[in-house]
Structure 1
Amino acid sequence: MAHERMGAGEPLVLVHGISHRRQAWYPVAERLAEHREVILFDLPGHGESPALVTNGRPVKEVLQEVLVELFDELDLHRPHIAGNSLGGRISLEAAADGLVSSATGLSPAGFWQGDLDFAYIRAHFAALMTTARVTRPVAPTLARSGLGRKVMLGSLMTHGERVDRDHLLGDLEHMVAARPALKTIMSAAYPFVTDIPAEVPVTIAWGTKDRVLLPYQAERARRQLPGAEHVRLEGSGHVPMSDDVDGVVDVLLRGSSHGLRSVASAVA
């Protein structure tokens, strides 16, 4: 898998969301690297990594195998892990499987309620894909202005204007290229129902302006994982790393600290 390492200290693996890429973490990576060894990687079928190939195997099994192989390749023994959206779900599954020392999910996937809710999620990503393809010819012009970037990223974050123009254009190209992986993962999706051992610290943070995995799902996560630390990211969207750099850095550092994980002003 395509990956980057930076910083020093306790290793923290960061997992991006579906149709995104490892650069999603750039707004917070340097700050985190002051305290952790940060590992960013592209999931299969995303970014610069090879295609997602299941050969009839469960998607969860394939993604877990990819994660284990990455840990082995980088000589990581039960690192901390954090993820956004699909990456958050992967992080929780890794915690349940005993692969990590702690897990943090930013709007993790898997807490929707019933088929109707999931149909909304599927429709949202279908609309994102269609928009990305249709606007490709004019995207370089639209992305020149902060307002244009804010509008283009409005369903994913509240402060899209903070995303660099070239970064945004790269995200759009890779989003379109990730369509096969998105279809495979979506077709195999199911709610998160796995128990996580009590000895593995878990933190769940949710943007109050999330338009993809609506914030009511944070309450479902709270009921399902009562032993976790639950955090509200006020004013943040589904991809909060640009919306609230300070808040996300704080959550990820505290979530990967094995103890003292009260998130003072942000805890709901």
Structure 2
Amino acid sequence: LGRRGVARSVVAFSPAGFFGAAGARWCRGVVSIARDGGAALGPAMPWLMRTRPGRTVLCGIFYGKPGRLDPSDCVADARALITASGFDAARRRLGEWRYEKGMADGLPVTIAWGTRDLVLPCRQAARARVLLPRARHVRLPGCGHLPFADDPGTCARLVLETS
């Protein structure tokens, strides 16, 4: 949206586009296993999500603090992933898009990476810094790939500060 001139600033949390071919394969594999595993659990999933160890095992790939999550939110998120009609098409395209130098020139950009992101590890931040030297690069301590549940206050602050 920033590149198209629709947004006046951009905040990207755990963004795709800064990994290589191996990173794209890893990411496709992670989301595929999460979806297939959730579907295989079927009626046992809500029961498992009610326990802290269950949430840790089943949600730990996406969240840095899965034990703190609300069990009903975990079930809803898992079901949304399992039933997402565009999943296969999105997974196939994952890894095709790459950030190219100059795409965000003149636009305030913040990129935030969770230090416990297992889907798109924050080591990709080094490549992002090279491609976006004027952007603000932020580490989110203890946060996973979906940092909003791990640290909603910091995520909101980053959006408000960049706008």
Q: TM-score, normalised by structure 1?
A: 0.57
> Quick check: 2:101–2:132 contact (8 Å CA) kept in 1?
no
Deviates more, 1:157-166 or 1:216-225: 157-166
Note the 1:201-212 alignment, pairs <5 A: 201-212=108-119
Q: Which residue of 1 aligns with 2:155?
A: 248
**Structure 1: unaligned runs, 5 residues or longer:** 1-93, 257-268
Q: Which residue of 1 aligns with 2:88?
A: 183
**Structure 2: unaligned runs, 5 residues or longer:** none
Q: In the alignment, residue 101 of structure 1 is paired with which amino acid?
A: R
Paired residue secondary structure (2:110): strand
Determine which structure has the larger strand proportion and give its number.
1
Q: Which residue of 2 aligns with 1:127?
A: 33
**Residue number among 152, 156, 161 corresponding to 2:58 in the alignment:** 152
Give the count of matched residue pairs: 161
> Quick check: 1:107–1:218 contact (8 Å CA) kept in 2?
no
**Residue number among 71, 85, 105 corresponding to 2:12 in the alignment:** 105
Q: Which runs of 4+ in 1 moved over 4 A?
A: none
Cα-to-partner distance string for 1:4-49 (whole Å, 9 max, x where unaligned): xxxxxxxxxxxxxxxxxxxxxxxxxxxxxxxxxxxxxxxxxxxxxx
Note the 1:83-94 alignment, pairs <5 A: 94=1
> Quick check: 1:157–1:236 contact (8 Å CA) kept in 2?
yes
Paired residue secondary structure (2:42): coil
Deviation at 1:185, TM superposition (A): 1.7
Cα-to-partner distance string for 1:212-234 (whole Å, 9 max, x where unaligned): 01111111111111111110111
Cα-to-partner distance string for 1:144-168 (whole Å, 9 max, x where unaligned): 1233222210100121122212221
Determine which structure has the larger helix proportion and give its number.
2
Q: In the alignment, residue 215 of structure 1 is paired with which amino acid?
A: C
The whole-number CA distance in structure 2 between the counterparts of 1:245 and 1:165 is: 17
> Quick check: 2:65–2:142 contact (8 Å CA) kept in 1?
no
Q: Which residue of 1 aligns with 2:138?
A: 231
Q: In the alignment, residue 141 of structure 1 is paired with which amino acid?
A: W
Deviation at 1:249, TM superposition (A): 2.1
**Residue number among 37, 44, 47 corresponding to 1:141 in the alignment:** 47
Higher relative contact order (CA 8 A, sep 6+): 2
Note the 1:1-268 alignment, pairs <5 A: 94-113=1-20, 115-178=21-84, 180-189=85-94, 190=96, 191-193=98-100, 195-256=102-163
Cα distance change of structure 1 residues 163 and 107 upon mapping to structure 2, 3 Å threshold: same
Q: In the alignment, residue 73 of structure 2 is paired with which amino acid?
A: H
Cα distance change of structure 1 residues 164 and 232 upon mapping to structure 2, 3 Å threshold: same
The whole-number CA distance in structure 2 between the counterparts of 1:148 and 1:193 is: 40
Deviation at 1:253, TM superposition (A): 1.5
Cα distance change of structure 1 residues 103 and 147 upon mapping to structure 2, 3 Å threshold: same
> Quick check: 2:63–2:117 contact (8 Å CA) kept in 1?
yes
Paired residue secondary structure (2:2): helix
Cα distance change of structure 1 residues 197 and 214 upon mapping to structure 2, 3 Å threshold: closer
Deviates more, 1:243-252 or 1:202-211: 243-252
